[in-house]
Structure 1
Amino acid sequence: MIDGNPGMRRSRRADRPLSALLLAAGLALWLLWRPELVQALPWPWRVGLVAWGGWALGAAFARPLLDGREGRLARLAASAGSRAALVGFGLALAGRALLG
């Protein structure tokens, strides 16, 4: 309930997918703008970063679509590990941008 208005119900959990979705969209745009953050890495590191980013961004984009559903994919997208992977991926890109 927001401001005592029963017609405006919203759970605190509903805000989390939006923030993860906005972070994922920002990271995806940043990678489109500066692809050299990943391209300049040696092959083994590049593959690992692409796999990590694919999982982190994919889970963040899929979470709002799977919210309220049951199943392995919905649990994986809503897990704290997927949110931590998204934040970690963002930090890895920021570190890569700062260190060159």
Structure 2
Amino acid sequence: MAGRPLVSADFAGRLDHPLLSLLLAALLALWLLLRPEPIQALPMAWRLPLILVGAWALGTAFVRPMALEVGEGGLSRLAGAGLSRWTLWGFASVIVCLEAWR
């Protein structure tokens, strides 16, 4: 298996773990499919950037395990970038805050 394994011994405390990011992205996607009201309540000036950032963050989280397995090209660099992992966690935090505020 080329690249990093999906599950490793040093799992605790790492936000950049591929399996954890994949699970977070799946839960966020499912939550937003079932309850899109927090995003719909925002004005369009806030909603559109949030949707674009969320689509990028969720997309890179879903692609990351495959990109790490292949390990070549721009897709691997994009999915492995620290910014994409932190953006996913930031997007999740914004969605949770919107849901709590609503």
Give the TM-score normalised by the residue count of structure 1: 0.83
* Distance in 2, Cα, partners of 1:31 & 1:37: 9
Distance 1:25 1:42 in 2: 26
Map of 2:81 onto structure 1: 79
Secondary structure of the residue aligned to 1:41 is coil
Question: Max radius of gyration: which structure?
Answer: 1
For residue 14 of structure 1, the aligned residue among 1, 6, 16 is 6
Code of the aligned partner of 2:75: L
**Partners of 1:87 and 1:76 in 2: CA distance:** 16
Displacement of 1:34 in angstroms is: 0.8
* Percent of residue pairs identical: 48
- Return the match for 1:96 from 91, 95, 98: 98
Q: Hey, what's the Cα distance between the residues in 2 that align with 1:46 and 1:96? A: 12
Structure of greater relative contact order (alpha carbons < 8 Å, 6+ residues apart): 2
Counterpart of 1:90 in structure 2: which amino acid? Answer: A
Matched residue of 1:14: which SS?
coil
Corresponding position of 2:10 = none
Q: Which residue of 1 aligns with 2:53?
A: 52
* Runs of at least 5 residues in structure 2 that lack an aligned partner in the other structure: 8-16
TM-score by length of 2: 0.81
Give the unaligned 5+ runs of structure 1.
Answer: 1-8
Amino acid of the structure 2 residue aligned with 1:86 = L
1:36 aligns with 2:37: yes
Which contiguous aligned blocks of 4+ residues in structure 1 show a shift greater than 4 angstroms? none
